[in-house]
Structure 1
Amino acid sequence: MLTTDELADPVALTRALVDISSVSGDEENIAGQVEAALNLPHLSVARSGNSVMARTNLGRASRVVLAGHLDTVPHHDNWPSRTEDGVMHGCGTSDMKSGTAIALHLAATLTEPVHDVTYFFYDCEEVEAERNGLNRIAQENPEWLAGDFAVLLEPTYGVVEAGCQGTMRVRVTTHGKRAHSARSWLGVNAIHAMGELLRRLDAYEARTVLIDGCEYREGLNAVLINGGVAGNVIPDRCEVTVNYRFAPDRSEAEALVHVKEVFDGFDVELSDSAPGALPGLEQPAVKDFLALAGAEPRAKLGWTDVARFSALGVPAVNFGPGDPNLAHKQDEHVEIQKIIDGAAVLRDWLAGVNG
């Protein structure tokens, strides 16, 4: 079980959490250890499956949420952890057990925060959305996630990344007529018919949108193409998957309307979609946090679970010590100083230290 000494030190706690194997779907052990560590006089604790929630109930004027996922991608000869030259290596060090460790450390050691705090630790973030613990709790126990502001401790290398892009994938299909390639004039080539769509994509000018001082860059790109029958057959079908990353000022419905306008005349089918999240940087608690974080916030160019908080009416940012570019890599690692600095920022903010 996690020790008092480990809970008192976010670096030692990061190491301890990394050394508990918790590949998605196998979080029972780590969830049990986190739950046990949170059974403290100043916290009320609840558990659902392998997601654990703890909260203070001090009657403060505002409530903030600190959230982190417990799972990792499968190991790739990078477990357990090792530390050398001020760097901790291992699966989950960056994404996101260093951030989760900071939240757990604060939950265990900060007894009189100036905001009431909900600490939420969840399972299955690295797999399909229907298994995601935050998604499940948002549907089954949304009161667990209620607050005025949330910090998701995803890796950002110590910079506040506000909101997130929305993401959408569509399948665009062209149809033709099969024929022997030796007598191609008897058929209609569906792959050739896709040329116009690819020209539109190549010429597409993506928006750059400024929201709360954060610059969101959009993108519309072909990511997969499938077509052809055999080396001597004119294909009668071609399918291109297109990914649209859109700024959070657009809803999913508005994003789909835009995509269909771009591909007017083509057969377009929505395959999956997730909304973006507005930055929400005007909340007083957010401004205090940004002052302590130091660097100017930037837009999150990607999708994260902050969108689930946004859908519940809770503005949220991403902030964690790990480098997002190292997530899921065999050489995943985190700089120990980043853990120390991130823990200090969040402790000062929750303790009411002025930035």
Structure 2
Amino acid sequence: MIDVRSREVAVPFLQSLIQVDTCNPPGNEHRLSLLLQDFLRKAGLDSRISSIGGIEQGRSNLEAVFPGDGGRKLMFCGHLDTVSPWTAEAGKYHPHGAVIDNGKMYGRGTSDMKSGLAAMLLAAVSLHQDGIRLGGDLIFLATAGEEVDSCGARQYAEQHSLSELDGLVIAEPTGSRVAVGHKGALWLRISLFGRSAHGSMPQLGLNAVEGMMEVIALLHQHALEWQAHDPVLGSSSLSVNKIDGGVQTNVIPDRCTIDVDIRTVPPLLHEELLSEITAKLEEMKQLHSGYRYQVEELLDRSVVYTDPVEELIRIALELAGKTGGAGGQSGEEEVHRKAAANATDTAVRGVSYYTDASVLHDHGRLPVLIYGPGDPGLAHQPDEWVDIEAYLDSIEFYRKLAVSYLGVIRD
């Protein structure tokens, strides 16, 4: 097999991943698991596919273990699914065309995060190709469902002992910068129940839509009271992003529902926030005894943060400084860009989105590195793209990271 790090292999390989539609919902990640397994088989490597909810659902994880000499265990993790494609009106390029234009590859998942997933796998396979024996195990995990409920990561955590791992690398888009964590996410669905009546006789009913306006104001006021800021992860936030209520114009609505997105940073605790919000709703109920409310927890993702003194982060910072971030330029412009990047790559950062690390970090014990070639600002956007040079550079980054962290056994 030709060197998998070469442009001739790496670029078509990423194109093949983009061309497989794994938009979630419904996901259909199994078709991509099979593609990766076939690639590994041709490279002489074994892998294991685990179905999610039965193979007939078309969803699965893929795991490949590159065994070392019994030392540390490092996991490379990326997700197989993407968000929904953009419409023809919204973008210039086909979401699954994997078109290359002016040094960029366009398609759903190019940035978030099939480029990182592909680079991790190619880095691991290249070590096998070169006959390099690592001092510990390198585990490659491709998960289903990260964009919705992290079903793949959750199943892996239930079926494996995370305590055996020593480090976790997530290939989400960071613009080839070192990130040490992300905010927590708590999604709530709050339903308010009132009493229906004729629109001409509102005094006979209890308007759930108008009552929900009070609930929303209460939530925002409460968010100001518990607002927190972290120097790396940023500030907490609360936003009401979906509302549903009412039957028709001349009917007093007896039900209204909102979906609330809360992002948290230390020292906020989700359990405490949920209790406080429930208590506030109970207070409101005392003022308006006819109302009844219900709170459902849609998603709970913990904060992820790794101290920059951890060896995994220190190695990553050193490597990022040497590579100077994303590629794609040349000549004097490239020299100046690398100099500027080297000056900033020694600083750690957090990312605004959540990742599978919130499920896999073993309750905060594992050091987590988030690093990927994609631009986080392009995630979920029309005409999503990845810089091809940044993608190729990231293969080298992951390869060197594995060697540095796990060590090499020399005969």
TM-score category of the 2 structures, normalised to the smaller one: 0.7 to 0.9
Deviation at 1:231, TM superposition (A): 1.8
1:176-191 mapped onto 2 (5 Å cutoff): 176-191=194-209
Moved more, 86-95 or 11-20: 11-20
Counterpart residue number, 1:106: 123
Deviation at 1:299, TM superposition (A): 1.9
Partner Cα separation in structure 2 for residue 51 and residue 230 of structure 1: 45
Deviation at 1:245, TM superposition (A): 1.6
Partner Cα separation in structure 1 for residue 256 and residue 21 of structure 2: 43
In structure 1, which of residues 236, 255, 259 is the aligned counterpart of residue 254 of structure 2? 236
In structure 2, which of residues 313, 316, 322 is the aligned counterpart of residue 286 of structure 1? 313
**SS of corresponding position for 1:352:** helix
For residues 197-239 of structure 1, the C-alpha deviation after alignment (integer angstroms, 9 at most, x for no partner) is 23333434252332xx523321122222233333223333333
In the alignment, does 2:121 pair up with 1:95? no
1:164-179 mapped onto 2 (5 Å cutoff): 164-179=182-197
Equivalent pair of 2:30/2:61 in contact (CA under 8 Å): no
1:82-161 mapped onto 2 (5 Å cutoff): 82-110=99-127, 111-113=132-134, 115-129=136-150, 132-142=151-161, 146-161=164-179
In structure 2, which of residues 40, 48, 66 is the aligned counterpart of residue 46 of structure 1? 48
Deviation at 1:22, TM superposition (A): 4.2
**SS of corresponding position for 1:182:** coil
Counterpart residue number, 2:228: 208
Equivalent pair of 1:13/1:105 in contact (CA under 8 Å): no
Deviation at 1:140, TM superposition (A): 2.1
Deviation at 1:115, TM superposition (A): 4.9
Counterpart residue number, 2:217: 199
Equivalent pair of 2:67/2:136 in contact (CA under 8 Å): no
**SS of corresponding position for 1:51:** strand
Deviation at 1:136, TM superposition (A): 1.6
Partner Cα separation in structure 2 for residue 19 and residue 225 of structure 1: 35
Q: What value does the CA root-mean-square deviation take over the aligned residues? A: 3.0
For residues 111-160 of structure 1, the C-alpha deviation after alignment (integer angstroms, 9 at most, x for no partner) is 3446531111233434444xx322222212346x9421111111222123
Equivalent pair of 2:244/2:258 in contact (CA under 8 Å): yes
Partner Cα separation in structure 1 for residue 264 and residue 176 of structure 2: 24
Deviation at 1:261, TM superposition (A): 4.3
Counterpart residue number, 1:11: 11
Partner Cα separation in structure 2 for residue 6 and residue 135 of structure 1: 31
Equivalent pair of 2:193/2:208 in contact (CA under 8 Å): yes
Counterpart residue number, 1:80: 97
Unmatched tracts of structure 2, length 5 or more: 52-59, 87-93, 285-292, 322-344, 406-411
**SS of corresponding position for 1:288:** helix
Equivalent pair of 2:72/2:136 in contact (CA under 8 Å): yes
**SS of corresponding position for 2:283:** coil
Partner Cα separation in structure 2 for residue 27 and residue 273 of structure 1: 21
Give the % identical residues.
Answer: 27
Partner Cα separation in structure 1 for residue 261 and residue 210 of structure 2: 21
Unmatched tracts of structure 1, length 5 or more: none
Counterpart residue number, 1:56: 66
Partner Cα separation in structure 2 for residue 134 and residue 109 of structure 1: 25
In the alignment, does 2:345 pair up with 1:345? no
Deviation at 1:327, TM superposition (A): 2.5
Corresponding residue pairs, total: 346
**SS of corresponding position for 1:287:** helix
In the alignment, does 2:264 pair up with 1:246? yes
Instruction: From the superposition, tell whether residues 4 and 195 of structure 1 become closer, same or farther in structure 2 (CA, over 3 Å).
Output: same
TM-score (norm 2): 0.73
Partner Cα separation in structure 1 for residue 108 and residue 74 of structure 2: 29
In the alignment, does 2:326 pair up with 1:306? no
Partner Cα separation in structure 2 for residue 138 and residue 190 of structure 1: 41
Deviation at 1:5, TM superposition (A): 4.8
Deviation at 1:186, TM superposition (A): 3.6
Q: What amino acid is aligned across from residue 79 of structure 2 in structure 1?
A: H
Instruction: From the superposition, tell whether residues 90 and 234 of structure 1 become closer, same or farther in structure 2 (CA, over 3 Å).
Output: closer
Partner Cα separation in structure 1 for residue 187 and residue 242 of structure 2: 11
Moved more, 341-350 or 86-95: 341-350
Instruction: From the superposition, tell whether residues 23 and 202 of structure 1 become closer, same or farther in structure 2 (CA, over 3 Å).
Output: closer
